[in-house]
Amino acid sequence: MARPHKQPLRALTDTEHQQLQALARSRSAPADRIARAKALLAVDRGATFGQAATEAGWNRYQSVSDLILRFHGEGIDAVYGHHGGGPALEYAPEEQARILKEFQRTPDREPDQTATWSLSTLQRALRGAKDGLPHVSTYVILQVLHQTGYSWQKDRTWCFTGTVARKRKDGVLTLTDPDALEKRGP
């Protein structure tokens, strides 16, 4: 007979149980989160730590024990894990909020030299601002936007095709290419 565990799993609340079941059934969530959810649900059903580890695809029951300790301290957030190494996260929530504030601002055509934001024009605006971020990369901007639910589409039309404004001595002249749609393709 196995020894009783020092920290058995506490009773799950209904919302925790529902969240863990949804995560364990998910086909799009990261695999490590799915494995943690399966391990916790197995222990909740009455499986031993070894059986729960096997069900989660782990080799050691100690992994389940460690997960349960984290679960007691953090709750459902323990399933989502932590920063897994590599360089420390450079941009704090204040800097991320600054990136979002700049992104939500409608660009001015003259100073920003664009009508809509791209990653590089947003980077240029953030680097050039007085309260901006002088070393921000397009990768960081993209990650911040993805975390908040934005996505960049490949088929995005940045400006109206075939029309251009040219500066002349007499003023600004708008030229239109009659074959622009044919040149653009399907």
Per-residue pLDDT of 55-98, as tens digits, reads: 999 999 899 999 999 999 999 999 988 777 777 667 888 999 99
Q: Please, which residues bridge with residue 174 across strands?
A: 165
Other CB atoms within 10 Å distance of the CB of residue 135: 10
CA gap 144, 93 in Å, rounded: 10
Please tell me the predicted confidence (pLDDT) of residue 41. 95
Q: pLDDT tens digit string along 99-111?
A: 999 988 988 888 8
Which ranges of 75-161 would DSSP assign to H, the alpha helix? 77-80, 93-104, 109-112, 119-128, 138-147
